[in-house]
Amino acid sequence: MEHHITPPNSWNGKCNSNKICDIYDKIMQGYKEHEILFKVIKNDGEIKNLTKNICINYSKFLANQITNTIKGHGQIKQLKILGIMSASEESVILMLSSLLIGAHHSICFEDLSDESIISRIKIFMPNIVLCKIERLERLKKVLGKYKLLDLPILGIDLNKAYNLNSLSNNFKKYNEDSNLFTLFTSGSTGSPKAVTHGTKEYIDYAQFTTSYFFGVKKGSIIFTATDAGWINGHTYAFYGPLLLGATSIIIENPILISLPRQLGELFEKVQPNCFYTSVTVLRLLKSAIKPKQTISDFCKVNLKIERIGSCGEPLANSVGSWAINFFETKRRSIVNTYFQTETGGILCAPRDEDIPPKDYSCVGKPRKELQIKIASDIMTSYELQAEGVAPDEILVCNYWGGIFRKIISDKESKYFTNSGYFRLHDIGYIDKEGYLYITGRSDDVINVAGHRISSSEIESTCLELIDIDEACAVSVSDSFYGSKVVLYFSSHNFQPNHLHKTKSNLKDIIKQKLTKYHIPKEIHFFKNLPKTKSGKIIRRIMRSIAEDHLLDESHDYSTLANKDKFLESIRTYQRMYIPSVNFNQEN
């Protein structure tokens, strides 16, 4: 059953449905003809500069192709375009073309399974589907398999773009309250969740937060190393930077930044002022270098990196402390961003302009305008219990421009309390100095003998050990304690004959830093934990594995960023615990 969720009336903005919002012209007016909008790092590491002239030429070319392919497009109130592609020059040109014709677009990852692609088509219901030209035949086969050949499809081939002095079609423009884009959250169970954002207030929020948190301005060069299918790839690699007249760096092959020497070589070429990446990438870099090495050891030019930012996973203080020294940034705070796809942009993050927090795991001081609160501070015990809100759940009291317009989900989720507070479904606390700390998802809290245990606390503590690269704490049922903690860890220096010592070291530091209730009852080595394409560890998969060491083969794992490595790791893990298992390698 599909659930359609919209914010209550009190959370609607002040957009004028009769007022035109021309985002394309607004962006282009911020650049001179030969100024660079995008530096695209190609798969081979070469850089392609997309100037204003090139972007206008390519976007007009594609816009005409789209409208010429759709029959009767003039009678459609707002075109809906689905792009199946990863971050690339094609993805940014598609987004520019969508702006040019006032379309509602969505971008999905190109390595999804056939079933995942079809489920997104059925939810979004596009008028046309686009992909890179080299993937066109595969897309045709997928649509044919599911009898959707009537749906127009188009392969993007920018090599065939030609100069257009004028548009061949009279394109529509956005109104202030038009739909701008829809993004899908990934998952291995159920249907994907579709989150739609609007036009005027979203782009204003994107522009504000890009400037406020990252200090981006005209002439800045920001490297947002996330995919086009995620909210970061929209807000902080596209809309925010372009509305400020900055240059945005797009990377087609994220593996290129996971090794220090390759990262240094790329930084020499693109010379960013700001580098915004996932915590997963920071962990990989940290595990690959020697103590006290910095980016200067891998780069021949004098870099001027003003800020770095992190997203995806919670940032452990030990990783943050390492990163700020490795990148030799001018600003000593890490923009440790707190947001969700539903929020459209950053709600909270540390800023050097404020007093920097002492702990890098902090997500900064909430802005007063938002009124971010802990539930127990503004709700009674009766209200908390009646509405199923955790006492330490984080709530937002006031409207902000980036909030979603609509959500389509097969699961019923309550985003607002009866009093009208927005629920982030995260738990955390605000310290006496006003800094916000996130301790996990509300459904990741582990109840051990009546004690509420945060998985994030355990994981961050484990990362203080130099040999631990990543950690994932989950709960399984226990007949005596109610729940018990099961911990998975990865290590680049792992040696099977040292497993007992590693387990002992992990238990010791958890006991020393936390409490006896945080100590895991089981600890397992797992080389490649399952991650989304934004770098988040998918804990529900590991929670399922912890129950019986088995993987549910009926689920679709194509949404994982590291599907093949994860499946290889689960096979190794299963051979250790259930040698007779016959794991299906083709899942």
Does 233 reside within a domain?
Answer: no
Find, among 511, 512, 463, 467, the residue nearest to 485 by Cα. Answer: 511
pLDDT at 23 over 70: yes
Mean model confidence pLDDT for the chain: 89
Interval 367-383: pLDDT, tens: 999 999 999 999 999 99
pLDDT band at residue 168 under the 50/70/90 scheme:
low
User: Helix or strand or coil: residue 349?
Assistant: coil
Does 186 reside within a domain?
Answer: no
CA angle 519, 523, 528 (to 5 degrees): 130
Does 562 reside within a domain?
Answer: yes
Which residues lie below 8 Å from residue 280, measured CB to CB, with a gap of 6+?
312, 313, 470, 531, 535
According to the per-residue pLDDT averaged within each range, which of 188-197, 274-283, 472-481 is highest? 274-283
Rounded CA gap, 320 and 64, in Å? Answer: 46
Interval 82-134: pLDDT, tens: 999 999 999 999 999 999 999 999 999 888 888 889 999 999 999 999 999 99
Count CB-CB contacts under 10 A for residue 157. 15
Interval 494-525: pLDDT, tens: 888 888 999 999 999 999 988 888 999 999 99
Task: State the maximum Cα–Cα separation within the chain, in Å, rounded to a whole number.
Answer: 75
Rounded CA gap, 83 and 128, in Å? Answer: 9
DSSP element (H, E) containing 29: none
Answer with the one of 172, 191, 214 that is the final residue of a domain. 172
> Which pLDDT score is estimated for 517?
87
Give the number of domains in the chain.
2
Interval 44-59: pLDDT, tens: 889 999 999 999 999 9
Q: What are the structure tokens assigned to 141, written together?
A: 């086969």
Q: What are the structure tokens assigned to 522, written together?
A: 């089981």
pLDDT at 445 over 70: yes
Residue 146 maps to which CATH number?
3.40.50.12780
Answer with the one of 172, 199, 218 that is the final residue of a domain. 172
> Which pLDDT score is estimated for 480?
74
Q: What is the mean pLDDT of residues 271-297?
A: 92
Does 470 reside within a domain?
Answer: yes
- What is the model's pTM? 0.85
For residue 321, give Cα distances in angstroms to 154, 260, 510.
47, 17, 20
Answer with the one of 135, 153, 172 that is the final residue of a domain. 172
Does 54 reside within a domain?
Answer: yes
Rounded CA gap, 170 and 21, in Å? Answer: 16
Task: Print the domain residue range for 75.
Answer: 23-172
Give 479-541 as a DSSP string. TTTEEEEEEEEE-TT--GGGHHHHHHHHHHHHHHHS-GGGS-SEEEE-SS--B-TTS-B-HHH
The answer to whether the beta carbons of residues 243 and 279 sit under 8 Å apart is: no
Does 351 reside within a domain?
Answer: no
Does 299 reside within a domain?
Answer: no
In 3-state terms the chain splits into helix, strand, coil percentages (rounded to 5) of: 35, 20, 45
Does 394 reside within a domain?
Answer: no
According to the per-residue pLDDT averaged within each range, which of 15-19, 275-279, 289-293, 580-584 is highest? 275-279
Going by the DSSP 8-state scheme, the letter that residue 356 receives in this structure is P
Q: Report which of residues 30 and 291 the model is more confident about.
A: 30
pLDDT band at residue 441 under the 50/70/90 scheme:
confident
> Which pLDDT score is estimated for 169?
60
Residue 516 maps to which CATH number?
3.30.300.30
Q: Which residue shows structure tokens 């390595």?
A: 111
pLDDT band at residue 190 under the 50/70/90 scheme:
low
